[in-house]
Amino acid sequence: MEKMKDLGEGKESVMVWESHWKKAKVEEWDDMSETILRALLRGAADLKGKLFLEAGSGTGRISFRLKEDEQGDVILLDVSRTAIGMSKHFFENRGQAGYFILGSIFRIPIQSDSIDVVWNAGVLEHFTEYETRLAIGEMARVCRKHGVLITLNPYSKAVLYRIGKWFAEKRKRWIYGFERPVKSITGYPAEGCTWIAEYSTDFDTSIGFLSSIPSLRFFIPLLRRFFKRLPPRILNRFGYLLVSIASKGK
């Protein structure tokens, strides 16, 4: 892997994520994973037999689910050696096969126009504007004609998430390194691709970030019950994740 001196995959950034994944456990499934999977199913109508690339794969559990559900073959790419090793172990222990690449999203070591569905979740918010432009450009490059590019990132209008994040940073308890909530992805050029949809979802996850405020921890279950009474169309305006979808060659 090439040295990323001036990009978000420099030595300091890689160390942050190596430390994070060494402490992390790969859970079988959770609500946010289900939300991401549904967004993928919604964004790419026919997934059967497709080749998927998760560009910034982390635990890899959603790619595992795609493989387990026989949607197609999966490639996992991550800059963290620990994350790649962890996800590979997770696949092998459950009898599933995948392709695992230790490498950079800024220089994806895959030939152009070769992947049906290029996607990631919780990746681009860790990059500057310039880095985000590079990453999307690479994702678009490897996406084949009539393929789909899908990215999910923390939304700038997710008020509860931003409050919790701000408080955690002030207390020096934020564990995810540099993170810039996304206002929109559709303004970034993705060569050969057209941005066709963008929406926010997963309001419930944003409530959990309030646990960084000790005085509010007791009230989080109450807040969840309260917000569940509101219509989804209102809550999703302030959802935790912004889902951005592009198609290539259409």
Per-chain mean pLDDT for the chain: 91
Q: How many helices (H) and strands (E) does the chain have?
A: 9, 7
Q: What is the mean pLDDT of residues 165-177?
A: 94
Fill in the DSSP letter of residue 155: B
Assess contact for 63 and 52: CB atoms under 8 A. Answer: yes
Region 137-166 average pLDDT: 97
Task: Give residue 19's Cα distance to chain centre.
Answer: 18
Residue 7's pLDDT is 56
Tell me what percent of the residues of the chain surpass a pLDDT of 70: 94
- pLDDT given for residue 16 in this prediction: 76
What domains appear along the chain, each with residue ranges and CATH number?
11-156+179-203+241-248 (3.40.50.150)
> How far is residue 114 from each of residues 38, 109, 110, 119, 186, measured CA to CA in Å?
24, 11, 8, 14, 22
What's the rounded mean pLDDT across residues 133-150? 97
Written as six digits, the tokens of 39 are 């967004």
Phi, psi of 74 (to 5 degrees): -125, 140
* Burial of 235 per CB tally in 10 Å (0-12, 13-18, 19+): middle
Which of 234, 153, 235, 243 shows the shortest CA–CA distance to 198? 243
What is the Cα gyration radius of the chain? 18
pLDDT of 172 above 70: yes
- pTM value is 0.91
DSSP state of 176: S
Mean pLDDT of 207-215: 96
17: confidence class by pLDDT, cuts 50, 70, 90: confident
The percent of residues above 90 in pLDDT, for the chain, comes to 80
12 pLDDT tier (thresholds 50, 70, 90): low
pLDDT at 192 over 70: yes
Average pLDDT over residues 136-140: 98
Residue 215's Cα: distance from chain center in Å? Answer: 30
